[in-house]
Chains A and B, each alone.
Chain A
Amino acid sequence: MAGPLCFPRAQAPAPESRSVWDGVYTEEQAKRGELIYKKECGACHGNLLTGGESAPPLTGGAFLANWNGLTMGDLFDRIRKTMPESAPGRLTRQQDADILAFMLSINRFPAGKTELYKQSEMLKEIRFESAKPSPKK
């Protein structure tokens, strides 16, 4: 009876998925991203990401609510497809990832030791959660 129900002992536990609260970018990357952001994005979205009439805020209630529950891959793809508005796709994947790192830093998500990925598929494994999760017990 027991045989078919047993799991192989050697099987590794599935790695836990990560969220933006798990240090998914570095401070250095965010600094690079800030320079690019100010040149490419700030005129419309504001240097503090607070938006304007023609460009939505990239921080605060509406931004956090509308991306909550999605992934960094979704956000990355959106930037890749549509920004900068005058020439979408002009920036490299690395530049877009750096900008995203800056956005995370302004939104006070913690920095970590590894840089944010620049591949959509990998970024889709990072959940965007607006609220800080409760400490694990």
Chain B
Amino acid sequence: MREKNSTGLQALLFLLFAGLLFLSIPASAQFHPKNTEWPSYAADLAGTRYRALDQINAANFSDLEIAWRIKTDNFGDRPEYKLEGTPLMVNGTLYATAGSRRAVIALDPATGELLWIHGEHEGKRGGAAPRQLSGRGLAYWSDGQEERVLYVTPGFRLICLDAKTGVRIPSFGNNGEVDLKLNDDQDILPDLITGEIGIQSAPVVAKDTVIIGAAFREGMTPRSMRNNKGYVRGFDVRTGKRLWIFHTIPKKGEFGYDTWEKGSAEYTGNTGVWTQITVDEQLGLVYLPVETPTSDFYGGHRPGNNLFGESLVCVDLKTGERKWHFQLVHHPLWDMDISSAPILADITVDGRPIKAVAQPTKQGFLYVFDRVTGKPVWPMPERPVEVGNVPGETYSATQPIPTKPQAYSRNGVFIDDLIDFTPALRDRAKEIASKYHLGPVYTPPTASKLDGTLGTLTMGTASGGTNWPGGSYDPETHNVYVYACNSCIEPIGLVAAPKEVSDIAYIAGTAGREVEILKGPGENAGADSPKPPKKPAGGGFSRMDVDGLMLVKPPYGTITAINLDKGEFVWQIAHGETPDVVRNHPDLKGLNIPRTGQTTYNIGTLVTKTLVIAGEGNVTTTADHPRGAMLRAYDKMTGKEVGAVYMPAPQTGSPMTYMLNGKQYIVVAVSGGPYSGEYIAYTLPSAGE
């Protein structure tokens, strides 16, 4: 059943401002945005988040002032506190998704003035969407004459707008929309309104092809081993016609089907590409970072390696046919979705030029491949890993481990990782850790037991390492710059799932806190009702900190510069002010603790001609600034901090930059806690100010 939709928000403002927007565009067959613009989510289709701009530099970064700002509260029926977008700036207009309706807004990039707005009212379909709110952005396309912006609504419809007016392009799909729940080589169940599938990443347009992946709800405690599948599709940007589809879970007869034993490819779902997709237009190749299959932490219902789960897959831009793939994690059990855009880099290793693709990951490995052949640039031998004993689970006995570069963040937890500020704090940390199974990367989840371990302490699973903001790449230095959470500990225990909760044998949980079914008022409460079984006391969950201090040693979050010609670190720094709880902790008075960085998993970086720029993910209050967070700049050659400016809330969307009328701007999304979403544009004071 099709759902009624309207474009009720759109275009009134357009009438007022249209005159400003009809800028002259040189007529040409192919449109080439300027390298001072930011025409796609990650600056370019190579995923670099790089612009060679230098007006804002080490000498003046701290002088930045706010050029304009826009709150997103009114772009939806309620405020949004998780604004994750990165705007585009192309051909004199800034575009962004914003607000709880995921509206598209066009702004004057010099002043922030609202030029037009487009919103889709999706009713129940929007309300039931697995990935709501404003998403991470949109895509721009032009043939030199026509300009379009495309985005995916929370209800999973691809919308194509006239970039000048914000009005739908009638010739695209069905009056400007393609229903992405249709024509997907599967029936989205249970129905088009509530069927679980959506996406929050920005679409990618390459050579007239729009590429869209898919996302689902969190997979820690799914109700079923069965779910919709996350195929990837290419569409014609002019017509909306589907050009190709890639089955991330192979269909019978396709390559990889036999990696799903006992017919599990038929019913297993998820395995989508929910993060940014990267394209090499010259080679005509698309790089797909694929997530985990259904049930993040238990794979007993999907025996086998489960291709293309947690694989980097290269497909043909024109046909979607697989060119090569590399599975980063066999038979995934750790929710190590490939969570960010692959980064394209032309490098020289031992004198040999290589067109490479580098993949940051949650597990803190930067996997580097020849992007034409899929061959690892440095060896990634299969190494034995621990095999667990959760009933019904099947384990891969080995996993590929990159030999170079070394891991840039913690990806396992050992006693040596626990805090050691004082012996007393360390003892308390050890006591907490003693309830869990510890080990290196790929230590499997355990069944949670009160008389054994409550679970496995992991790092780089659900969070940790690098998540959706990904990294940056500097084509001048051949360095990847990447943020990692070095302290995002995730305890993973498994408990038997009651049949009323899930048909999966084990789901995430902790002994003593088993999943319970809500009972009706008075149910089983009367005389002679059976008494509930007594639960052992003291079970459950231990907070992963000691008096607010992280369980593990600093640095809590890092930015690492990794040279891809050598596969070696250039520098690594702790990113972010030391948290208040550390600076003000009574037990730490008198200790000289270097900057620790912060615990957060969603920090994106921007690299310019001279700087690496990233905001903080935590709020602090210091002698230098009131409650807030800082946007920091580092010398990209050394990692030395060279400046910082105040933000009223943490960075929640990755920064971007552009030049307009001789001025450089940096725009960043901030939000979180009680601070609703806001895009803030910084620039230098005008001469004479």
Contacts and interface: CB of A to CB of B under 8 A. Distances in A.
Contacts, number: 142
A44 B627 CA distance: 28
A50 B581 contact: no
Interface residues of B, number: 64
Given A42-B221, A82-B81, A86-B132, A64 B581 contact: yes
A122 interface: no
B58 interface: no
Given A38-B515, A53-B337, A77 B674 contact: yes
A88 to B, nearest CB: 6
Interface stretch (A9-17, A67-75, A110-118): A67-75
Contacts of A59: 543-544
A61 B508 contact: no
B617 interface: yes
A86 B627 CA distance: 31
B620 interface: yes
B467 interface: yes
A51 B487 CA distance: 14
Contact of A69 (B130, B489, B617, B627): B627
A85 B133 CA distance: 9
B190 to A, nearest CB: 16
Given A78-B81, A82-B79, A130-B548, A47 B132 contact: no
A48 B509 CA distance: 7
B543 A106 contact: yes
Contacts of B620: 65
Given A62-B600, A78-B673, A107-B543, A35 B581 contact: no
Size class of the A contact interface (CB-based, 8 Å): 35 or more
Contacts of B585: 131
Contact of B220 (A47, A61, A85): A47
Given A62-B617, A68-B581, A74-B674, A131 B547 contact: yes
B513 A78 contact: no
B339 A53 contact: yes
A68 B580 contact: yes
Interface string A73-113: 01101100110011110000000000000000011100000
A53 B509 contact: no
Nearest to A36: B518
B78 interface: yes
A85 to B, nearest CB: 5
A70 B673 contact: yes
A34 B518 CA distance: 10
Nearest to A52: B218
Query: Among the interface residues A38, A47, A59, which one has the most CB atoms of the partner chain B within 10 A?
Result: A47
User: Would you call the interface of chain B mostly helix, strand, loop, or mixed?
Assistant: loop
A78 B550 CA distance: 25
A84 to B, nearest CB: 10
A61 B545 contact: yes
B127 interface: yes
B581 A131 contact: yes
Contacts of B221: 42-43, 47
A48 B510 contact: yes
A5 to B, nearest CB: 34
A35 B518 CA distance: 7
B548 A47 contact: no
B339 A81 contact: no
Nearest to A50: B490
A23 B515 CA distance: 26
Contact of A61 (B510, B541, B598): B598
Contacts of A88: 78
Interface string B435-479: 000000000000000000000000000110001100000000000
Given A47-B510, A53-B462, A77-B674, A61 B579 contact: yes
A46 B600 contact: no
A136 interface: no
B222 to A, nearest CB: 8
Contacts of B516: 35, 38
Interface in B477-505: 487-491
Query: Among the interface residues A53, A55, A88, which one has the most CB atoms of the partner chain B within 10 A?
Result: A53
A69 B618 CA distance: 13
Nearest to B222: A43
A105 to B, nearest CB: 9
A55 B543 CA distance: 18
Contacts of B518: 35, 39
A69 B547 CA distance: 15
Given A43-B221, A55-B218, A131-B584, A66 B127 contact: no
Interface string B652-689: 00000000000000000000111000000000000000
Interface of A: 34-35, 38-39, 42-44, 46-48, 50-57, 59-62, 64-70, 74-75, 77-78, 81-82, 85-88, 106-108, 130-132, 134
Interface of B: 78-82, 127-133, 200, 217-218, 220-221, 274, 337, 339, 462-463, 467-468, 487-491, 508-510, 513, 515-516, 518, 541, 543-545, 547-548, 550, 556, 579-581, 584-586, 598-601, 617-621, 627, 650, 672-674
28 contacts: A38-B516, A46-B508, A47-B220, A47-B513, A50-B463, A50-B491, A52-B220, A53-B463, A53-B468, A54-B130, A54-B131, A54-B218, A60-B488, A60-B489, A60-B599, A61-B598, A62-B600, A62-B617, A66-B650, A68-B619, A74-B673, A75-B674, A86-B129, A106-B543, A130-B548, A130-B580, A131-B585, A132-B548
